[in-house]
Amino acid sequence: MKIVLGITGSTGVIYGIRMLEILKKLNIETHLIMSEWGEKCISMETEYTSDYVKSLATHTSDEKNMAASVSSGTHRIDGMIVAPCSMKTLSAIANGYDDTLVSRAASVTIKESRKLVLMVRETPLSAIHLENMLKLSRIGVVILPPVTEFYTKPKSIDDIVNHGVGKCLDQFGIEHNLYPRWGTF
Ligand SMILES: Cc1cc2nc3c(=O)[nH]c(=O)nc-3n(C[C@H](O)[C@H](O)[C@H](O)COP(=O)(O)O)c2cc1C
């Protein structure tokens, strides 16, 4: 399996970082694209460096590199995750405005009928945000905001992040035990 992972400039970049850590552990090939503001958010809200995050991925491409392999549908991938996905990148994807490699790779994922999961993050959500999400949901894109659940009684931020990452991996049928499933506790 090969997954493209976009990390964009929204709060919650830890979701993208944890996703890479887990996918690496599971020996799943990843292709990482971080937006400029995704990288800035990593330095603003985590202890991690961009180099550490890049070291977790199998391949990394610059968001300005439209000649990267994942810019073309001929390059075979199984799907793409954007975690977290800013409202700007959501808008670009919803409107086919492929100005960065994140939105281009997402656009390619859609046109090739592959799985695209967006961990969209903003609050509150405006009608523009909701319309962009609805537009994409109607064509099969999975809108998966990192919304906390409390029925598993999370004890730490790690528990909360793992739950969001686990829900995302469920979309690809990837086995994990990142959160306890209802009916098992
Ligand atoms: C610390 C920080 C947190 C942000 N959080 C959000 C957010 O939760 N959602 C969002 O849509 N934009 C957020 N932004 C604004 C985006 O970074 C900005 O719109 C940027 O242009 C997104 O570009 P990108 O999608 O190419 O990364 C945040 C910016 C900063 C500096």
pLDDT tens by residue, 12-42 = 999 999 999 999 999 999 999 999 999 999 9
pTM for the model: 0.98
In angstroms, the CA 69 to CA 71 distance is 5
Contact 132 CB / ligand 1 (< 6 Å): no
Q: How far is the CA of 86 from the centre of ligand 1 (A)?
A: 5
Burial class of residue 111 (count of CB atoms within 10 Å of its CB; 0-12, 13-18, 19+): exposed
Structure tokens at 142: 């999975």
- In CATH terms, 2-170 corresponds, of 3.40.190.10, 3.40.50.1950, 3.40.50.800, 3.40.50.10950, to 3.40.50.1950
In angstroms, the CA 23 to CA 27 distance is 6
Domain extent listing, the chain: 2-170
In angstroms, the CA 31 to CA 93 distance is 18
pLDDT tens by residue, 70-103 = 999 999 999 999 999 999 999 999 999 999 999 9
Mutation test of ligand 1: which of 42, 88, 89, 104 has the most ligand atoms closer than 8 Å to its C-beta? 88
